[in-house]
Every structure is written in C-alpha cells, then in structure tokens.
Structure 1
Amino acid sequence: MMDPWDEAAAAAVERLRALVASASSARAEPVDRPDGTVAAAAGAREGLRSGIWPLDWVARAAAFDSAFPDDAGDLLLEALAAVVAPEAAPGLEEADEAALLALQPADWAAAVVHIVEVAPPVPVEAEALAAVAAEEAAAADDALDSDEVMLLEAGFGLVVPVLAALGALDADDRPTPVGAWLLPRGVALGLGTDLDEGDRANGWSGSAGAGEAE
C-alpha cells in the first residue's frame, strides 16, 4: 500500500504535470526557461548568500551552505523544492516551521494552479492561497476547520515572500513569466519528481532565455 503522503504527492505532481503540459500545448511547443530567469537567479543567489530574510531560512532548508548550483534554473528549482520539502532544518520559529510543514501536497498544487492560471494580474496573497486550498479540501470531503485554515494562511504567509525573492512574483506580488515556469517544476521537484528530467539531463532547452547569458 502506498504511503498517504506519497499518494498525495503523486496526485499533486500529476496535476502540476498537466499544468505544464497545458502551457506547452497552448504554445504548440515546449516551454523554455523564460527571459528573466538568469536575472532572477542572480538576485536569489545574492539573497541566499546574504543571510537576510526571507532567503536566509531557504538557504538553510536547501542545505546550500556556501555551495550553490551554477545553473540559474537549477538554483531556483532547488531553492523552491527545499521550501516544499526541506533538506535540513530551516531554523524558523517553532510556530512558523509547524505552519510551513503543515502545507500538504494538495495545498501546494492548489496554490500553484491558482497563481499560474487564475492570479495574473492579481497580487498573490497568503489568505487567497489558503482559501483556495481550503475550498478544494472541502470539495474532496476533507473540510478544514478555522484553526487549520489559519495554519494554511501562516504557512503561505512564509511562502509568498520567498516566491517574490526568487523572482516568481514581481514587486507588486503579481506572478511573473519566471514564476509560471518555476512554480510547477519547483514544487514537483520538492514532491520528488523532476518534470524536466530529460531536459536537465541533456542541457536546458533555451537555457538562458533569448538574449541572456549565464
């Protein structure tokens, strides 16, 4: 019998895979890393090294220490994956860490779909992400009580600033093209699946985006 977390993760990954496939189908071609990926990674790298919130705890969660992935896409993906499933203790306050770890695979998938498909050009807010996750839980006959919803809000309250720091959201917390590429892939990676395994093995397609260099 599959472990409940693994079963939930597998279902969430399939939803994220469908989201990526839908984006590719809409363009009638694979979705390459967008322009801005390298710039986003450069900003993220600086934040991860600085030890300044919110990327201080992400660096600890990813166990980067002083060694960061050289590739821009890998850096962003691995940082986000560590938010979903920390490789090491993030060093947050106990209540914050409990809220972060309370986010379930279905919550992550609901949030990503909302941000990528629904949110643009609306600013992303933790309360809205928690509401979407709670609505989907209720639709699946797993209604959350008010305390559980508040826990979701606290968890996503930690996540939203990280998404902005990784370039997935702009200065007004609206989704960016980098975010549309990063979110489904980074969350799936945190849930144990590399959606771009072939591309990563053979070198990124459109690796730096048009007009960009690593």
Structure 2
Amino acid sequence: MDVDFVCAFADRPPGRLTRRDVARALLAVPSGVALVALPDLRRALLAAGNPLSRAFWDSAKATLGSIEAGVATVGDVQRWLESTGTEPILMTPGYFVWPEEDERGPVAAEMHRRLVAHLEERVAAGAIDPDALAGGDPEARAAYEELQERWLATALPDGRTPEQAVNDEQDEELFAAWDEEEAFALAELRRILGDLPRRPEPPAAELDAAGARLRELLAEPGYPANVLRACAGLDDRPMPRDDRELWLTVAAGVAGPIADLPESGDELVEFADLERRLSEEDLTLANLCAIQHADWLAAVTALARLGPGVLASPERIARLIAESEDIESEEQDEEELEATEGFFASVVPLWACLGIVDAGGVLTPLGWWGLPEALERAWTPAE
C-alpha cells in the first residue's frame, strides 16, 4: 500500500486527499499492512504539500493498532472514520440511518456524495475541526452531528430534502421487495393447491350463518372486533353485503392486515409511555405483521393437505411450518419454534371468531375451504 493506492482508491491526486480518503484506504487493506505503510504514506503526503495533521496520524496509528490487536469494535472504527470531519455519521441523534455503502440506491448514493462535499466545504471554511473530533472533544462532536442533521433536513435547490429523499427510496425498495416476495408466495400457493384435490365449498346456509355471526361480532366494541375490522380495512369502508364476500375479506385481512387500529387522543398518550405493556390489540396486530409469507404458505398448505379435523393449535402450526417441504428453511431450534408459536397464538383466536377452527382449535370444513381462498385473496394485487 502506498500513496498511489490511496489516490486510485479515492480518485484524487495526492494534494487533494482528505483525512477521510486516507482513512477509507487504510481500512480497505489488512490492518497490519496499513500500519506498516503509515510512515511512508505520511512522508509522501508531506512531500505533496498535504501533510494532514499529527492528530490524524496518531489516531490512525491507534485505531489500526487496536484493529490488529483484535480489541477495536465496529463502533470504534466507525467513530474514528467519522472523526475525519467529512464522513457522514452512520446514525444521527435523530435516528436517520444511512444504508450500507453496497446497499445504497441511486438517491442515497447521490445524497451521501452531496453531504461529503458539503462537509469538505465546511472543513475548508474552518466550521469543522477534525483534530478536535479526533481528540474526542464532545462539543466538536455535538456540533458535527448538529451540522449534518441540519443539512439532512434542509431542502436542496431542486426542492428535495435529503433525509426524506433517502427514506422514500428505501421505502420504495422495501415495498418492491415485499411485492416480489408476495408474488412468489402466491405463485407457490396456486401451484401447491393445484396439485391437491379440490376442496368443496361450504353450503350456502353455513356461509350465511358464519356471515351473520361475523356481522354481529364486528359491530361490537373492543377486541377482537376492532382488530378484525382493522385487518379487513372496514373502519374506512362499508361492510360487503354478501356474507361470503364479507367472510373472505375478513379472513384475508388476518393474513394481510390492511390497516392499523384507529388512533384516539388517549391511545396516543399511552403510546408515548414506553413503560406500558402492549394492549392485546396492539400485540395481535404486531404478531400478524411479523409472520412471513413463507410461514403463512407452509401453515395453510399443510392444513389444506390434512383437511378438517386436524388440530390447528399454535403449537401444531409451528411444527407444521418447521417440518414443511413447501418452503426452504433451515432446521429451527426451540427458540425459533416458540417465536412462531407466539405469532400464531394471536392468529388462532381470530380464526375461531371466523369459524375456521372450533373452540378446541380443530380445523373446520369452513376453514379447510376458506383458509386457502383467503390467503390467495390477501396476496392477489388489487386491480
């Protein structure tokens, strides 16, 4: 490693290299190699008229030495890199987090470059003191953090706010990945069901009765009616008039919740209290949203194969998922099984409200027919 390596790594001539450029290049090679190269690198930059500072070189030697000794943490190394004065803080005090370098989309990469350029301007203007940062000065660090948070929240000439632009891009990527996973799960569900005998649809009288019971339940206050309404999105739209349609809408909502619980002033006050325990409603919705597509697929296809009369308790469902050949998964330990069981402990009571399982947690003929239908509906994109 030499100055030519650093220049190629940073795509800058020796006279324009920053502390960040040198630090990133040093971290790109084994720590032992970087330590050996430090003296020659320092002399080369001094000869190029860009000596940096003694504080930087001392901090580089100390950090690389800690890495070589195996005592430096990831946080220690990140903090040192940030102390160069032009490295964006990985997580700001306001909890904005930059994506990892190899995971940044075009917008995040652009905004990161813009912030680096802004910080270089502030260092040149004397508004940032890298030596104070390298020395661990708390006031310098606080000012450095505040400067970055202000930049992130300030609109650019084109009207974009950097923080919001990065967050929007990450949301789009997350939604796209979710849609792709859901489309794959839907295709697998249809493939598996296509290989199974057709399940008979319940008699109309049975569906009408289930629909009537469901309408009565949904009119009640509190749990579980409020959760079922939220899952089906019925707080913001009227109930379907057809009982079959209503039943499938609510059953699909359990597998793919459409909305959250409506908020009231009292609920907002309670939410601000971090010491409070989650209500049954909040815990139920959190568990429903935590269940992965693969787990829903494994559970529902297993029940479709086994048919009415099979036990569909949370414990049994967790085992069915762990033993499923319909999904690719590593062998689960007891802790993972308990987590899956805990998620479905919120599902089974809702299934009981719909008549999918009986009071003993046994799959009913209605559930045998309706669960796969509801899951397919939950994963089918709205037209």
Q: Is the shorter-chain TM-score for this pair beyond 0.5, marking a shared fold? A: yes
Q: Which has the higher contact order (CA 8 A, sep 6+)?
A: 1
In structure 1, the partner of 2:295 is 107
Contact 1:168 1:179 in 2 (8 A): yes
Structure 1 Cα separation of the partners of residues 326 and 208 of structure 2 = 39
Corresponding residue number in structure 2 for 1:153 = 341
1:112 Cα offset (Å) = 0.9
**Residue of structure 2 equivalent to 1:204:** none
Aligned counterparts of 1:154 and 1:127: Cα–Cα separation in 2: 9
Alpha carbons 2:309, 2:364 under 8 Å: kept: no
Q: Tell me which structure has the larger Cα radius of gyration.
A: 2
Q: Which residue, 165, 171, 177 being the options, matches 2:365?
A: 177
Measured at CA, do residues 138 and 73 of structure 1 come closer, stay the same or move farther in structure 2, by a change above 3 Å? closer
Query: Residue 44 of structure 1 aligns with which residue?
Result: 214
Code of the aligned partner of 1:17: R
Q: CA deviation at 1:97?
A: 3.3
Matches within 5 A, 1:56-205: 56-65=226-235, 67-90=238-261, 93=279, 94-118=282-306, 120-136=308-324, 140-192=328-380
Q: Give 5+ residue unaligned stretches, structure 1.
A: 198-214
Where 1:136 maps in the other structure, the secondary structure is: coil
Relative distance call for 1:182 and 1:99 in structure 2 (3 A) is: same
Asked if 2 retains the 8 angstrom alpha-carbon contact of 1:99 and 1:151, the reply is: no
* Matching residue's letter, 2:186: V
| 1:1-29 deviation digits (Å, cap 9, x = unpaired) | 994433332233233324543333xx7xx
TM-superposed deviation, 1:116? 2.3
Q: Is the 8 A contact 1:62 1:87 kept in 2?
A: yes
Q: Report deviation, 1:95.
A: 4.3
Cα distance in 1 for residues equivalent to 2:184 and 2:291: 15
Aligned length: 190
Unaligned 5+ runs, structure 2: 1-172, 263-277
